[in-house]
């Protein structure tokens, strides 16, 4: 997809460049004004009064005039066929919108569907053991019949094993980067990155060109890995490893986290064991367990439910919700609201009717599944 040079894109990029305006504030502004251009055109006192913005940020918006930076970035994207994904774009990773701090704009090179039905993050230590390599390859291979998108950070170790295993099993894989798309870090993974792009995968980052892989960028990168996926699987990690940060972020986003256990004397498994011990991750032993936990396993009750639905007349709203539950059989109310495109009141009414007809089942925490 080629970059279309529009005023909207200049404003969208510029919004991400304004000092003191981070992901949280940008979303507040977009939710209020609807688009980036309207933010720049708004009066200072209107911005000032907006909750979460205030005087300092309002001044920062009104004094911003470095639009040349956006134009330079557009020329870079056009040259390297990079697609900008703004918060309101339909191709923006929709799962990230369930997070409180989704990136304002993402830079994407590739063809993998970032909103496909099954997305799994596989992360772990840079210095993996033979056990870690074997577990990673086995997991990805056994997940391959479901054709999930495999997401990781293109780092040394488990990340690289996950990407390579995905390619070997003809799965799409996306590397999320902590720097701009004008380079690959580590440089030793340049060929791997090229293979990912050639095999219908992708490279994704929130950082514009000429952004170096500085240390403080990696936690930001990790939140994208955690937020854009249905679940995160940790293979091997130390107690203070970057994968633990990803797991904690996934927990904060109410995402499922799984971890493979290891020997209590093995420092490479200490982080996984700690996540399991503190109920921050589900102990994982194989792909089949993951498939079942995620509700991805086709079973007789689902087939029976589909047959039952043939004899029930559903409204348009009810059909939309049922289709969401058929795609992913355990879904939160937040995800239903997001995916359905319906108003919250329409969703509530439809869910009530579906429960009364015994089509869906309500679980604690406003989680729903087909009955």
Half-sphere exposure of 51 (CA within 13 A, CB side): 1
Residue 311, pLDDT > 60, answer no
Half-sphere exposure of 278 (CA within 13 A, CB side): 12
Query: pTM of the full predicted structure?
Result: 0.80
C-beta separation of 312 from 357 below 8 A: yes
| pLDDT per residue as tens digits for the range 332-341 | 888 898 888 8
How many other C-beta atoms are found inside a 10 Å radius of the C-beta of residue 22? 15
| pLDDT per residue as tens digits for the range 357-367 | 878 877 656 77
Span(s) in the chain for CATH 1.10.10.10: 300-370
152 conformational bin, left if phi > 0, alpha if psi -120 to 50, beta if neither: beta
Sign of the Cα pseudo-torsion (193, 197, 202, 206, in order): positive
pLDDT tier at 329 (50, 70, 90 boundaries)? low
| pLDDT per residue as tens digits for the range 37-80 | 999 999 999 999 999 999 999 999 999 999 999 999 999 999 99
Q: Which of 265, 260, 290, 292 is nearest to 276 (CA)?
A: 260
Mean pLDDT, the chain, rounded, equals 91
pLDDT tier at 1 (50, 70, 90 boundaries)? very low
User: Is 1.10.10.10 the CATH classification of the domain at 300-370?
Assistant: yes
353/244 Cα distance (integer angstroms): 41
Half-sphere exposure of 140 (CA within 13 A, CB side): 30
* CA triple 131-253-37, angle to 5 deg: 125
C-beta separation of 272 from 254 below 8 A: no
| pLDDT per residue as tens digits for the range 3-45 | 444 679 999 999 999 999 999 999 999 999 999 999 999 999 9
Q: What is the 3-class SS of the chain, one letter each residue? A: CCCCCCHHHHHHHHHHHCCCCCHHHHHHHHHHHCCHHHHHHCCHHHHHHCCCCHHHHHHHHHHCCCHHHHHHHHHHHHHHCCEEEECCCCCCCHHHHHCCCCCCEEEEEECCCCCCCCEEEEECCCCCCHHHHHHHHHHHHHHHHHCCEEEECCCCCHHHHHHHHHHHCCCCEEEECCCCCCCCCCHHHHHHHHHHHHCCCEEEECCCCCCCCCCCHHHHHHHHHHHCCCEEEECCCCCCCHHHHHHHHHHHCCCEEEECCCCCCCHHHHHHHHHHHCCCCEECCCHHHHHHHCCCCCCHHHHHHHHHHCCCCCCHHHHHHHHHHHHCCEEEHHHHHHHHCCCHHHHHHHHHHHHHCCCEEEECCCEEEEC
User: Is 3.30.70.20 the CATH classification of the domain at 119-293?
Assistant: no
C-beta separation of 172 from 166 below 8 A: yes
| pLDDT per residue as tens digits for the range 205-217 | 999 999 999 999 9
Span(s) in the chain for CATH 1.10.150.20: 1-75
pLDDT tier at 305 (50, 70, 90 boundaries)? low
Span(s) in the chain for CATH 3.40.50.450: 119-293
Residues in the chain: 371
How many other C-beta atoms are found inside a 10 Å radius of the C-beta of residue 87? 23
CATH homologous superfamily, domain 1-75: 5' to 3' exonuclease, C-terminal subdomain (1.10.150.20)
328/363 Cα distance (integer angstroms): 15
Q: What is the CA radius of gyration of the chain?
A: 22
Q: Which residues of 163-192 are buried (b: 16+ CB within 10 A; e: fewer)?
A: bbbbbebebbbbbbbbbbbeebbeeebeeb
């Amino acid at each position: 997809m080629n970059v279309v040079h529009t005023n909207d894109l200049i404003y969208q990029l510029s919004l991400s460049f304004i000092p003191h305006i981070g992901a949280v504030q940008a979303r507040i502004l977009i939710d209020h004004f609807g688009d980036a251009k309207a933010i720049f055109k708004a009066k200072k006192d209107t911005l000032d009064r907006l909750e979460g913005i205030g005087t300092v940020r309002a001044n920062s918006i009104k004094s911003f005039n470095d639009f040349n930076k956006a134009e330079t970035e557009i020329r870079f994207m056009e040259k390297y066929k990079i697609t900008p994904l703004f918060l309101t774009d339909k191709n923006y990773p929709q799962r990230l919108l369930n997070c409180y701090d989704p990136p304002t704009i993402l830079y994407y090179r590739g063809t993998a569907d970032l909103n496909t039905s099954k997305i799994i993050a596989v992360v772990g230590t840079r210095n993996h053991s033979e056990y870690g390599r074997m577990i990673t390859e086995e997991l990805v291979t056994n997940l391959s019949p479901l054709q999930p998108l495999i997401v990781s950070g293109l780092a040394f170790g488990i990340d690289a094993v996950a990407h390579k295993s995905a390619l070997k099993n003809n799965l799409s894989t996306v590397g999320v980067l902590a720097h701009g798309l004008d380079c690959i870090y580590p440089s030793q993974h340049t060929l791997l990155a090229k293979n990912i792009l050639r095999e219908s995968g992708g490279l994704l980052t929130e950082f514009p060109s000429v952004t170096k892989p500085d240390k403080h960028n990696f936690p930001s990168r990790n939140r994208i890995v955690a937020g854009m996926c249905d679940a995160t699987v940790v293979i091997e990690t130390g107690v203070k490893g970057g994968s633990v940060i990803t797991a904690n972020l996934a927990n904060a986003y109410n995402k499922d986290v799984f971890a493979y256990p290891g020997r209590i004397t093995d420092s490479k498994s200490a982080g996984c064991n700690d996540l399991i011990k503190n109920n921050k991750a589900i102990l994982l032993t194989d792909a089949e367990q993951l498939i079942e936990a995620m509700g991805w396993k086709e079973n007789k009750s689902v087939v029976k439910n589909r047959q039952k639905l043939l004899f029930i007349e559903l409204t348009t709203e009810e059909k939309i919700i049922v289709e969401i539950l058929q795609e992913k059989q355990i879904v939160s109310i937040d995800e239903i609201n997001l995916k359905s495109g319906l108003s919250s009141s329409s969703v509530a009414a439809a869910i009530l009717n579906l429960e009364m007809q015994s089509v869906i089942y309500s679980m604690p925490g406003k989680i729903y599944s087909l009955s």
